[in-house]
Amino acid sequence: MNVKPTAPGPTDNEWVTVFNIDRLQFMIDAQRQWGNIVRFPVSARRALWLINDPDAIEEVQVRSPQHYGRGIVFKRRAGKFLGKGLLTAEGEENASHRRLILPTFHRSRLAAYSEIMIHEAGASLDKWQGDQVIEATEAMTEFTMQVVVHCLFGTDEIVDVPAITHAITAAIAYLNDDAVPLSSAQIDLLRDLATDLIEKRRITPGGDLVSMLLAARFEDGTALSTQQIVDEVLTLFVAGHETSANALSWTIYLLSSRPEVQERLRQEVGSASAQTIATTDYTYLNLVLQESLRMYGVAWNLTREVLQNVRLGDYDVPKGDTLLISPFIAHRTEAYWPNADGFDPERFLGGSYDRRMYFPFSIGPRYCVGRPFAMLEMKIMLALMMQRFDILRTLNTPQPEPYIVVRPRGGVQIQVAPRS
């Protein structure tokens, strides 16, 4: 008689208390104790599975994604104000919207966005006068917010930046923290602001993302409804704002203790103009960003609901269970990343790593369509920063907090000095 193997993991749900104290450390410890596929009982009929095996990750995200839906809790919370945008839509609805939105991030469009990124990066760095302490997370959040507002809606007088910034900040705080309320009035305000801006662009099109979405057509020739565009606009705010800001903050933190890495970046970029920086593929700058995203990636977890009975590795996983695939855990697994807690940009030279275990922007049909946008934004800001400033040191040691993204608790306090 064949006996099905029992998945390793705790035998009761007392693990939940420890998990909620420090989710990242709990998952790191669980992977080290029980291995790359771990089962955590939630109730008599449901379980949460930590999936950190490269074959299983590829099965879920690339080979058979149709067998897995987005996490129910995330969809329920995010759906309150994101509707059915790319982060929450499933199946063919997600695929059709993805095909419609992909052209807005085409290489030919990035040139226009880069002009906005250059302007906003310069304006942000202009505020760093003399030797001073900068709260890098606040500075990068303001920078990425300005970029996403103006890339979405344009740079003319139709954009009430303070109003939409305040509204989206409240919505992101709600999505990040279960304890933060978001009233129906706040949701209505947020969606009304987006609707008003969209209708203005319907009358006066520009070269911005919203104008492109208004002009886009599905394969049958139909256009997105105003509600669908609102859903996508708010999704792009969430996906394109806080993610890049936190990735930049962590990169600055990592660079603060490595003056030799800063110097090598300066030598590579030299005195190139901002426009040249935007159009040049810098090898070492890319390596630094790749390594920063490995250590402190965009999202700490990708949850999936099992839609039918499946087999992952040696184990049968029943319909209704939840999978947790964590870039943070995968990127710090020593078997795939020697010296995983060390900042080593050159580890990516030659591409000899297991690509199934590196997915800061996800992989498969749900990969982040805004990846080229985010990488360009971060490249421009870092290159201009290196040309103008030395990051002398950090004044705190931020700890990673698992919200939508891996936030640095307490921000990143840095001391900078202008270069002569």
Q: Does residue 132 surpass a pLDDT of 60?
A: yes
Q: CA nearest 265: which of 418, 379, 351?
A: 379
Left, alpha or beta for 35 (phi > 0: left; psi -120 to 50: alpha)?
A: left
> From CA 269, how far away is CA 285, in angstroms rounded?
9
Tens-place pLDDT, residues 30-59: 999 999 999 999 998 999 999 999 999 999
Looking at residue 117, its pLDDT comes to 96
pLDDT tens for residues 61-107? 999 999 999 877 667 777 777 778 777 778 788 888 888 888 888 88
- How far apart are alpha carbons 62 and 365 in whole angstroms? 7
Average pLDDT of span 2-30: 88
Mean pLDDT of 1-29: 86
| 4 band by pLDDT with thresholds 50, 70 and 90 | low
pLDDT value, residue 155: 64
Q: In the predicted model, is pLDDT for residue 120 greater than 80?
A: yes
Q: Is the dihedral of CA 170, 77, 36, 374 positive or negative?
A: negative
CA triple 290-131-376, angle to 5 deg:
25
In this predicted structure, the answer to whether residue 383 has a pLDDT above a threshold of 90 is yes
Average pLDDT of the chain is 89
| Distance of alpha carbon 18 from the chain centroid | 26
Q: Is the overall model pTM greater than 0.85, yes or no?
A: yes
Q: What is the dihedral of CA 83, 329, 295, 288, to 10 degrees?
A: -90
CATH numbers and ranges of domains, the chain: 1-70+299-359 (3.30.43.20), 77-296+364-418 (1.10.630.10)
pLDDT band (50, 70, 90) for residue 391: very high
Mean pLDDT is lowest, of 31-40, 271-280, 294-303, 372-381, for 294-303
Q: Which residue in 296, 248, 289, 270 sits closest to 147, CA to CA?
A: 248
Q: Is 337 helix (H, G, I), strand (E, B) or coil?
A: coil
* Residue 1 predicted with pLDDT over 50: no
Beta-strand ranges (E) seen in 286-340 are 302-306, 310-312, 315-317, 322-325
Per-residue pLDDT at 156: 58
* pLDDT value at residue 165: 73
Q: What is the pLDDT of residues 315-345, one digit of tens each?
A: 999 999 999 999 999 999 999 999 999 999 9
d(CA 32, CA 26): 10
Q: What percent of the chain has pLDDT over 70?
A: 95
Question: Helix or strand or coil: residue 319?
Answer: coil
Q: Does the pLDDT at position 10 exceed 70?
A: yes
pLDDT of residue 107: 84
